[in-house]
Structure 1
Amino acid sequence: MATKKTAGTTKTAPAKNASAKKPAAKKQPATKTAKTTTAKNPASTKTANQKMSQIDAALAVLKKARKPMSGKEMVEAMAKQKLWTSRGGKTPDVTLYAAILRDLRKGTGARFKKAAFQAGSR
């Protein structure tokens, strides 16, 4: 830093270097935020205002029925129990079947299990 002498006082001129230290900014107090947690079972965290997904509703229907069901039977049961309704699609049972097949590809982590077909069970 350069110093200048003038009439009995000494002044220090600021350095022209860009790397001069600036005073530290005051830290703002940390604000508290609510912690968000993820649920292991998303179907159990649904409230009355939230809609359940088609595949979650199918899982709930199967657990309640405790028997194998076809896609069409599951869609009808979901509508009857007011868990899920179609938005006007032509083949919601086929859409559900495709979603279940995608879930089955997960292997040991799959939520669904394919039941053996029994002739005459319908």
Structure 2
Amino acid sequence: MSKKSSTKKPATKTVKAKPAKKAKAEAPAAKPEAPATKPIVTCPKGGDHEWTDENGERFCTKCKEPQGTKVKAKKPAKAKPAKEKKMSALDAAAKLLEETKEPMNTKAMIETIAAKGYWTSPGGKTPHATLYSAILREITTKGKEARFKKTDRGNFAFNG
């Protein structure tokens, strides 16, 4: 194969020169800098405002806010009391089996858990079946680290 030489000229861009900024040394030295005043509020960029004179006005060097404006300070967030997390049926069953140290079936577990006030059913028709499924799922996924062990058909004990 033969290589074709390209005859295209590279595109040139015209760049306009920006006007040079005046150096601070060229500014009139007749004005002495005003003493720094205490800030009304803290700067949204962090810390206190750092004021400088620009074109006869005072601005914060960080956030560019004019000095004359008043910004409301943020109020600290109120600490909300921590809500007590409700125990799940699975956690309640583990607690019950740990306390009783006897194997139980899930129907008996649900009745005892409700009687002790650890957990109440949200209105499901078969909470014992849901608990049975959850216990089997935990045994399958966690293996020997599971909180439950199957002792007999339909009966579980605390694995601890």
TM-score by length of 2: 0.44
Partner of 1:85: 120
Secondary structure, in 3 states, of the residue corresponding to 1:115? strand
Secondary structure, in 3 states, of the residue corresponding to 2:97? helix
Partner of 1:110: 146
Contact preservation (8 Å) 1:3, 1:11: no
Secondary structure, in 3 states, of the residue corresponding to 1:114? strand
Aligned mates of 1:89, 1:55 — CA distance in 2: 15
Letter in 2 for 1:82: G
Partner of 2:86: 51
Partner of 1:61: 96
Question: Cα gap change, 1:28/1:65 in structure 2, threshold over 3 Å: closer, same or farther?
Answer: same
Give CA deviations for 1:44-91 in whole Å, capped at 9, x if unaligned. Answer: xxx994421110000011111111000001000101101011111100
Contact preservation (8 Å) 1:71, 1:93: yes
Question: Cα gap change, 1:48/1:72 in structure 2, threshold over 3 Å: closer, same or farther?
Answer: farther
Question: Cα gap change, 1:69/1:27 in structure 2, threshold over 3 Å: closer, same or farther?
Answer: same
Partner of 1:11: 26
Secondary structure, in 3 states, of the residue corresponding to 1:52? coil
Mean Cα displacement is larger for which, 87-96 or 107-116? 107-116
Secondary structure, in 3 states, of the residue corresponding to 2:151? coil
Structure 1: 5+ residue stretches without partners: 5-9, 13-24, 30-46, 118-122
Higher helix share: 1
Partner of 2:47: 28
1:3 CA displacement: 7.5
Aligned mates of 2:119, 2:84 — CA distance in 1: 12
Higher strand share: 2
Secondary structure, in 3 states, of the residue corresponding to 1:90? coil
Partner of 2:136: 101
Task: Work out which of the residue numbers 107, 117, 120 in structure 2 matches 1:72.
Answer: 107
Secondary structure, in 3 states, of the residue corresponding to 1:85? coil
Identity %: 46
